[in-house]
Structure 1
Amino acid sequence: MTTSEGFRRDIFSDFDIEDPEFNDRFYEVLDEFVDRCPVTRSNVGNGYWLINRYQDVKRAGQDWRTFSSAKGFEPNRDPERPYLMPEESDPPRHNLWRNALNPYFSPDAISAFEDSIRTEAVTLIDAFIDRGECEYIKEFSSVLPGSAMFKNLLGLPTDDVPMLIKHMDAGFYGPKEERTENLTRAFVHLGEYLGRRAKEPPRGDVVDVIAAGVEYENDEPAPWQDRVSIITDLALGGIVTATFVMSGAMSHLATHPEDRKALVNDPSLIPQAAEEFVRYFPPVVALGRSVTTDVEIGGHHFKEGDFVLLNYAAASRDPKALDSPRECNIFRERVPHSAFGVGVHRCIGAHLARLEIKVALEEFLRRIPDFNLKPGTRPEYETGILRSMKKLHLEFPAQRGA
């Protein structure tokens, strides 16, 4: 480890993932980690470590026995904070839930939602296309993923989306003393919905599976709180993941007209470009693990009880994993990344996120092929263990009657 220079704090030995400087100099910090410090230390609260390079992150993520998720993925976790399962659990319970949920998130199952997602995307674009501008986050990218998840998988009223986005956002980015309360509000709302569904005739959907639960060890039924946790985790993932990638993609295309024209002229490039956008605009920065036994990784000796963040965002920018990783290259044919996680905890909704991003790009570029950032504006971000874009003002030729 060498000493970091040019930052307000020593990012290698006294890092804070919620430092505003990390938010403002996001890629610069990630690249410093990959180039100069495979394992980073934070002294915030009880302290934690970050593993930053691709192969090290992959190794740790695949070794759930040594790097456990059962105590949560957030550093300095509030003990009153509800757990998000199956993400914050380990096998066998993790696998019991994943096996029950996986059929509803398979490529074939998700492909059946394409027409519905496309219709929603067109409806959203129709609402602003004649104005010649939009605030893309509020009017499109924060709405489409929630609508896709709620309409097609969870059966929730889409009117619930703004309220849940508000509480989930505040549960991760708001004042620390209010985060648990806000996340709990989302739990309560979704728990009430799940309770109503449990009393209704089955619809044959994933909510029926969650309400029925799974059986744990010794044929013990999963407690109700675990079932509420499952539906909350799915709702959170469905809202957060695709939103930031869509926004990052549109910001890139607004400032790189040659890439935008390439996708407009050849939409067949969009799926591969979308994968590059997933890598380059990581919605999950780093998720935590608790070390269960002494282990060496990345040249560092971790001790039992250490808390470690797997830095997915940095790992996806490791030159040893792919060529020119600091460049957003929409023509890249091979796109290794850890944006959806690695190992047994890999994101269950990855296929849905990819479909949403693909459809969002196809429909926006088809209807609005020429756009740019509105003069006097720039994207605004929030960063912690997750990363989000808060505002993105786009401007384009108004299309009356489009």
Structure 2
Amino acid sequence: MSTRQLTYSPFDAEVIADPYPVYRQLREGAPVFWSSRAGTWVLSRHVDVSAALGDPATYSSASGIFPTPPGVDMTELFLPMLIMSDPPRHTQLRQLVSKAFTPRRIAGLGAQIQTLVDDLLDETPETDAWDFVSGFAGPLPAIVIADMLGVPREDRDRFRAWSTTLIQSNPARGEFGAGLDAAAALYNYFAAFLAERRAHPQDDLMTALVQAEVEGEHLSEDELLGFCLLLLIAGHETTTNLLANSAVILAHHPESRRELADDPNLVPAAVEELLRYDSPVQGLSRTLTRQVDLHGKTMATGDTVLLLFGSANRDDQAFPDADRFDIHRAPERQVALGRGIHFCLGASLARLEARIALQALLTRHRDFDVDLDAAIRLHSGPIRGFASLPIQ
């Protein structure tokens, strides 16, 4: 297929269903591609995506991280978030919130996560079909991050609904209404919660954020609300979709599934391969601070560039035979969780939850299948996963 015939938008229905054929076409024929339908340049090769992630001075996050129509400013739609900031403010804020995600603190959550996993699996039917997302993959990370923030568990279903609505808004077509309503609901909830924590501090992340200081100053109300929104959505959407995508992959690879069931020690490495093979975050955008010439194309200052993590992770130049799922692969270079200064803050938590969840699932259900015909995919360009996934 020539570049004249090639079309790509992260919001196309065919791309959402299976993006990997067009990713290969992009890597082979148009590694720097202008998507007129999404109004953005697209980088698809591992070497180029990795280089861009390692150069935040050129590829800025401050103007937003999702492709949007010309003239739309994401910073005007949402309050300040760590993921949409550049140094030096990004450095200050990340140092602050990273204290909540230390290896020691995350490791200490293992027993709690195991209990939650066991409780959720206890509630699932042994023989009848059940919805893997609403019954397991959705509630688990939502409960974990809500507990870290200090949010009552009875509110988790509301949070799940709000965050799912938010990520399914379609900025490429200017469809913000429902997503903005969900964001407003979250902001209103957290504003009241932050006020309560100021008056009555507790041992949770919300209190820590309220009391935190950066260079002698407390975070602004907008920064606090932005933090809460980011932690809630990133804290459970990524893990929910990692688990759902993993269930599909393992259902389609029964030999690998049974090998993991027989030897749980293989699960940690398998999680890395699952992240690589069908990344829950398919790509994020950056805005150029200077002109970049790459592969014979000129990208101008101010242009947006979509970095396709999902394509980079299927690049044969980085991962031989990349379209083959292999639990014995060592995909250290996979970029599903980003790279550089914006590497996913909750990566260790997502990996821990995935390891515990998959190990427990395979212990109880050595054999299972998924009904993709009845499944409902998320209609979000950057996020790949399921709103509903029947499993038998």
Q: Same fold (TM over 0.5)?
A: yes
Aligned residue pairs, count: 383
CA distance in 2, matches of 1:326, 1:193: 46
CA deviation after TM superposition for structure 1 residue 173, in Å: 1.2
CA distance in 2, matches of 1:374, 1:384: 22
Are 2:192 and 1:192 aligned? yes
The residue correspondences of 1:28-177 to structure 2 (distance < 5 A) are 28-44=21-37, 47-76=39-68, 77=72, 80-83=76-79, 85-151=81-147, 153-174=148-169, 176-177=175-176
Amino acid across the alignment from 1:229? G
CA distance in 2, matches of 1:195, 1:72: 28
Amino acid across the alignment from 1:72? G
In the TM superposition, what whole-angstrom CA distance separates every residue of 1:3-28 from its partner, at most 9, and x where no partner exists?
265xxxx32xxx32211121123121
Q: Tell me: CA distance 1:84–1:321, structure 2 relative to 1, closer, same or farther (3 Å).
A: farther
CA distance in 2, matches of 1:169, 1:18: 16
Q: Tell me: CA distance 1:59–1:202, structure 2 relative to 1, closer, same or farther (3 Å).
A: same
Q: Which among 237, 242, 262 is matched to residue 240 of structure 1?
A: 237
Are 2:378 and 1:370 aligned? no
- Equivalent pair of 1:72/1:83 in contact (CA under 8 Å): no
- Equivalent pair of 2:273/2:330 in contact (CA under 8 Å): no
CA distance in 1, matches of 2:214, 2:26: 42
Amino acid across the alignment from 2:329? R
Specify the SS of the correspondent of 2:84. Answer: coil
CA distance in 1, matches of 2:324, 2:251: 16
CA distance in 1, matches of 2:191, 2:315: 41
CA RMSD of aligned residues (A): 2.1
CA deviation after TM superposition for structure 1 residue 286, in Å: 1.3
Amino acid across the alignment from 2:385? S
Amino acid across the alignment from 2:229? T
CA deviation after TM superposition for structure 1 residue 141, in Å: 0.3
CA distance in 2, matches of 1:126, 1:202: 31
Q: Tell me: CA distance 1:250–1:197, structure 2 relative to 1, closer, same or farther (3 Å).
A: same
Are 2:12 and 1:19 aligned? yes
Structure 1 residue ranges without an equivalent (≥5)? 396-402
Specify the SS of the correspondent of 2:333. Answer: coil
Sequence identity of aligned pairs in percent? 29
The residue correspondences of 1:276-287 to structure 2 (distance < 5 A) are 276-287=273-284
- Equivalent pair of 1:121/1:359 in contact (CA under 8 Å): yes
Query: In terms of mean alpha carbon deviation, does 31-40 or 168-177 score higher?
Result: 168-177
Amino acid across the alignment from 1:282? S
CA deviation after TM superposition for structure 1 residue 280, in Å: 1.4
Normalised by the length of structure 2, the TM-score is: 0.92
In the TM superposition, what whole-angstrom CA distance separates every residue of 1:85-124 from its partner, at most 9, and x where no partner exists?
1000011111111111212212221010011011001111
CA distance in 1, matches of 2:231, 2:378: 23
CA distance in 1, matches of 2:219, 2:121: 42
Q: Which residue of 1 aligns with 2:211?
A: 212
The residue correspondences of 1:245-260 to structure 2 (distance < 5 A) are 245-260=242-257
Structure 2 residue ranges without an equivalent (≥5)? none
- Equivalent pair of 2:316/2:322 in contact (CA under 8 Å): yes
CA deviation after TM superposition for structure 1 residue 180, in Å: 1.8
Amino acid across the alignment from 1:228? L
Query: In terms of mean alpha carbon deviation, does 160-169 or 265-274 score higher?
Result: 160-169
CA deviation after TM superposition for structure 1 residue 376, in Å: 6.1
Normalised by the length of structure 1, the TM-score is: 0.89
Specify the SS of the correspondent of 1:41. Answer: strand
CA deviation after TM superposition for structure 1 residue 83, in Å: 3.5
Specify the SS of the correspondent of 2:26. Answer: helix
Amino acid across the alignment from 2:181? E
- Equivalent pair of 2:63/2:73 in contact (CA under 8 Å): no
CA distance in 1, matches of 2:66, 2:79: 10
CA distance in 2, matches of 1:162, 1:4: 46
Q: Tell me: CA distance 1:297–1:165, structure 2 relative to 1, closer, same or farther (3 Å).
A: farther
- Equivalent pair of 1:34/1:317 in contact (CA under 8 Å): no
- Equivalent pair of 1:316/1:337 in contact (CA under 8 Å): yes
- Equivalent pair of 1:272/1:333 in contact (CA under 8 Å): yes
Amino acid across the alignment from 2:214? E
Query: In terms of mean alpha carbon deviation, does 19-28 or 142-151 score higher?
Result: 19-28
Amino acid across the alignment from 1:295? V
